[in-house]
Structure formats: C-alpha cells, structure tokens
Structure 1
Amino acid sequence: MTNFLSGIFIQFFNAIHNLVEGIIANPDISFGVTIIVFTIIIRVLLLPLSLKQTKSTVKMSAIQPEVKKIQEKYKKDPQKAQQEVMKIYKENDVSPMGGCLPMLIQFPILIALFYVFQHIDYQGAGFLWLTDLTKSDPLYILPVLSGITTYFSTRSMQGSADEAAAKQASTMNIGMSIFFTFMSFKFAGALVLYWVINNGIQLLQNLLLKKEYKKPEVL
C-alpha cells in the first residue's frame, strides 16, 4: 500500500514541480512552493471526508445532553446505559469514532510521503530559513510548529463529550502532539513542512465548516 501511494505521489509531486519550476526557476523557492501546492491539493481531495467528519462532530455535540441524561438515569446499570447511548448514536447516524477517521487516513499518506521526499531529486534545495529541505530544521522552528498545529488541528475535530471522554481525548491529543514534535526533530524539513501546512489548512477548514453547519435537532 505504501509503495503504491509513494509511486503515485512521486509522479504527482514531480508533475506539480515541473509546473512551478516553469514559473519559479530558483530551487530554493520552487520546491517549497511545490510542497505547499501539493499539500493544498491533498487537502482538497480529502475534503469529502472532512465534510462527513465535521457533520458527525456537530451531531455528536448536539446529542451530548441526551447522552448525559441516559448515563445519569442508568448510572447503576452501565451495560443498559451503553445500549441506550449506542441507540441514540444509531438514530442520529453518528459514530463515536467518526472524528478519528481523518487522522487515521493521514498516517499512510504521511508514511508514503516519507519515502517520497527520500526519492525526489531536490538535494540542496532550501526554503525560507531552511538551507536544505533534505535535512531537519536547524532552528527547530518547524518541529515546534508541528506540535502546536497538531494539537490545535486535532482539537478542532473533537466534539463536545462527557467529562471523562473529553479528558481522555485531551490526553491523547497532547500525547500525539508531543510525539509529532519529537519525531519532527529527526524528519527532513520537507516532510515537516508538509505536515505543518496540512495541519494549518485542516484547522482553518474545520473552523469554517463548524460555523457553516448548525446543530441538528436530536431525534
């Protein structure tokens, strides 16, 4: 799967770079711009999934008051409470794992891009303060941005939940942000640049979509 995606992405990236290079000949600009354009196109392709995820998040927020009532009503019978909660989820066509799907899909893409940026001929090309996109950020700016943008973009995907679930989600979010920050210190600047731009676009997209969708009536 990874090799298949890598092959497609390499051809796709090279095609975009050829177009960008026709306008911007300087490799210290063209490769960085290509990564930005490439990231935007990937986000556009994932837009249908993002729309579905945002709708699910908004619906999840809307049904939380009913979920809390059920949990309070059947607090002495957790199994019955779980059954009733799942019934509400089914009636309102939401999944408690719906918000995780976009992030899970990002992982094979990220792994494929790890190989892509190892096989694309961009040796020595830099971008902004990065003198070489094949190497890690010497100023540690991108790794820090990676952690910050991962936290806020993931947080923007989460809907309102009960206190325990919210605490668990927050802990996982912080852990994931720390993980990406740590890994970004080792990854090539090109890959981390992609991840930071991807997170920024995703955050903006989620905020705009949440404003667009109104909370639905609970069935």
Structure 2
Amino acid sequence: MSTIGYYICVPFAWVLRTFYELTGSYGWALVLFTLVVKLITLPFQMKSKKSMMRMNLFQPKVKEIQTKYANNPTRMNEEMQLLYTQEGVNPMSGCLWSLLPFPILLALYSIIRQPLSRFMMLSKDVVTEITTLATTLGYNAESVRVGYEEIGLAKFISDNFADFSGKFDGLLNVNYNFLGLDLTVMPGDVWKDFFTGGWPVIGVVLIPFISGALSFLQSKASMAGNVAAEGNDATARSSRMMMWMMPLMSLWIGFTLPAALGVYWIVNSLLYAIQEKVLTKYYKSHMEDELSEKEKQKRDDRLRRMEAAREQQRKIAAEEAKKKTLKEKRAEKQAAKATKKKNSTNESGRVGDRPYARGRSYDPEHYGE
C-alpha cells in the first residue's frame, strides 16, 4: 500500500515542487497548487453539480412516487429507477464526484508530512544519510513529534543549509515561512501562547477557525444550490448533517495537522465557494432554457401525436364510408336484381292476357252475342 501511495503522490508532488521552484515560497506554491488541482477537477465537479441540479428539478415527481407507493417499496424503487432513466440522471454521480477532494487531501498531507521522501523524492538511503549528518550538527529527532520527523529535519536543513548544500542530489532548501507564519507548526501545539506569542502564533491559531468558517459557508452555498424539494426529509437531514460535519472536520484538521494543510483547505474552500456561485448561476440559466426547450418538444410531440390520431381517425372514417358505399351499392344491386327477376313475365302472361289466370276452359267469346 505504501508503494501505491507513493505513486499517487508523485504527480501532486511534482506540481507542488514546480510551483515552489517558480515562486520560492511554500505558501504561494500551495495556493497555486490548489488552483491547478481545482481546474483539473473542475470538469468532474461540473458533472456532479449538473447532476444534482437536474435531480432537484424533478424532486416533485420523486415525492409523488414516494407518496403514491408508500406501502409498496418494490414498486416505488422500480418507478424511481424508471424516472432516473427517463431523466438521464444517476443519483449517485453527484455524491461520488463530491468525494474527489479527499484523496487529494490525503496525498497532499503525505507530501507535507514527508517533505524529503515525497516532496523532494529522495530515497530512504539518502534520507538516512541526511539524518545522520543532521544529527552530527545537533539535530535531535526525539524532540520532534512522532510521524513528523521529516518536517523537523527539513526545517533543520533549511536553518543550516550551508552544511548540506551540494552534498545530496535533489535536496531543496524549503522555506516554510508564509506571511510571517511557520507552516510546519501545528496550531494545537501553540494555541496556549495565543496572547503572548505575537502574530506568528496568532496567525497559525486563526487558520483552523478561518478554515472552519469557510467550510461552513461552502456547505451553505452547496445547500443553496442543491437543496432538495420541500418534503424530502431524508435528503434534507443528510444536507444539514453535512453542513455541520464539514466545518467541524475542517476545524479538527486545522488544529491537529501542520498549518500548511490548513492553508490548502482555506484556499480550496474559497475556490469552491466561487465555483458553486458561478456553476449554480450558469446551470440554472441553462437548465431553464433546457426545460423550456424540453417542454416545447413535449408540446410539439403531443401536437404531432394528436394530428397523427386525427389523421388515423380520418382514414378509419374514410374506410368505413367506403365500406358503407360498397355495401349500399351491393344492396342496390341485389335489389335491382330481385326486381328484375320479379318482373321477368312474358307478354302473353301479363294480367288480362294470361290464359292460366282464367282457367283452361276460358273462352273469351263464351258470353258473346
């Protein structure tokens, strides 16, 4: 797993190191790193945002299905899946892409915590040699918090870089000072000196609170853009829980981890708030147009279906009329034939001249004078 983690960190470390070499400031390198990562992940965030906003459009239909099939969960799930298919929405896509920042946060934490092996990409043997040299110069690894030995070593190297310069390929003199703050410091270690330590302590301790406040505003902005329809209690509860969980997590991250990670979280929250505002406005406008176009298409389809139904009725009526005409003609023909058959007596058999009508012994001169 450590090997996999190392290769995951490689591209992020390269980006951060490139910006550090360009700016000479670890803090500004973090700001630019956050901006680039945000731009790279923007297409996925846009997809997530669009999916969530589209789901909000048909929340009334979801509520209707939930109410209609409240006593039939199987049918409810079937109808919900049918609705998602018809609308072309995956209800999980919004949630999945929203989790994307967390692997990046873990990778960055590893890079910040292990600047020699992850940021400078030095091998274990080289790190061991550097540690040995630093120890001979007065570095005490036991005075550093467990798990953060490389940060302490990198800071010692920066303070005594003349003794290390040119001796190890790839070794950088990392300046962790940013706006008068030491980004290797953990706010939880110095908060007791808040009133006596001056700006270097005050600024570091404020980082977690600023991070938590921005995370809260970020959650509020996200809820404003993605709020579900009224009555969807499960979604509303989940949104409210996330609105408080994220700021609390930001506060915890800010206090227990190096200030450098807090700087990243602050910049990320600011960029996210801007992104939410812009994307919400953009998709709201486009979805209204899309909805209008969709409604227009539905109307046109309905009119086409109605016209097709009318045409079908006309065809049926024409066929019925044709059948009726044929029947009438056939009936007239049969009547004419019957009449002809009835009147088919010869001239000698007509009334007044029919011998059989008078009897065989009939003699027209019988009563003659």
Q: TM-score, length-normalised on structure 2? A: 0.53
Q: In the alignment, is the contact (CA less than 8 A) between 2:207 and 2:263 conserved in 1?
A: yes
Aligned twin of 2:313: none
Q: Which piece of structure 1 moves more, 186-195 or 78-87?
A: 78-87
Q: In the alignment, is the contact (CA less than 8 A) between 1:150 and 1:180 conserved in 2?
A: yes
Residues 1:192 and 2:262 aligned together: yes
Q: Distance in 2 between matches of 1:188 and 1:47?
A: 27
Go from structure 1 to structure 2 and tell me whether the alpha carbon gap of 1:207 and 1:191 turns closer, same or farther (over 3 Å shift): same
Aligned twin of 1:37: 32
Q: Distance in 2 between matches of 1:179 and 1:115?
A: 18
Q: CA deviation at 1:77?
A: 1.9
Q: CA deviation at 1:70?
A: 1.2
Q: Distance in 2 between matches of 1:68 and 1:87?
A: 14
Q: Distance in 2 between matches of 1:7 and 1:31?
A: 17
Task: Look up the equivalent residue of 1:125 and give its one-letter code.
Answer: Y
Aligned twin of 2:279: 209
How many aligned positions are there?
210
Go from structure 1 to structure 2 and tell me whether the alpha carbon gap of 1:177 and 1:86 turns closer, same or farther (over 3 Å shift): farther
Q: TM-score, length-normalised on structure 1? A: 0.85
SS state of the match for residue 88, structure 2? coil
Residues 1:134 and 2:172 aligned together: no
SS state of the match for residue 177, structure 2? coil
Q: CA deviation at 1:36?
A: 0.7
Aligned twin of 2:236: 166
Task: Look up the equivalent residue of 1:198 and give its one-letter code.
Answer: N
SS state of the match for residue 51, structure 1? helix
Aligned twin of 1:146: 211
Q: CA deviation at 1:129?
A: 5.1
Q: In the alignment, is the contact (CA less than 8 A) between 1:146 and 1:184 conserved in 2?
A: yes
Q: Distance in 1 between matches of 2:176 and 2:36?
A: 22
Aligned twin of 1:85: 80
Q: Distance in 2 between matches of 1:17 and 1:88?
A: 50
Q: CA deviation at 1:110?
A: 0.7
Q: CA deviation at 1:187?
A: 0.7
Deviations 1:59-79 (CA, angstroms, capped at 9, x unpaired): 011011111111121122233
Higher relative contact order (CA 8 A, sep 6+): 1
RMSD: 2.2
Q: In the alignment, is the contact (CA less than 8 A) between 2:176 and 2:183 conserved in 1?
A: yes
Identity %: 29
Q: In the alignment, is the contact (CA less than 8 A) between 2:45 and 2:98 conserved in 1?
A: no
Q: Distance in 2 between matches of 1:198 and 1:61?
A: 26
Consecutive unaligned residues of structure 2, counting only runs of 5 or more, are: 117-153, 156-174, 188-200, 299-369
Go from structure 1 to structure 2 and tell me whether the alpha carbon gap of 1:4 and 1:157 turns closer, same or farther (over 3 Å shift): farther
Residues 1:125 and 2:176 aligned together: yes
Structure exhibiting the larger radius of gyration computed from Cα positions: 2
Aligned twin of 1:24: none
Consecutive unaligned residues of structure 1, counting only runs of 5 or more, are: 22-29
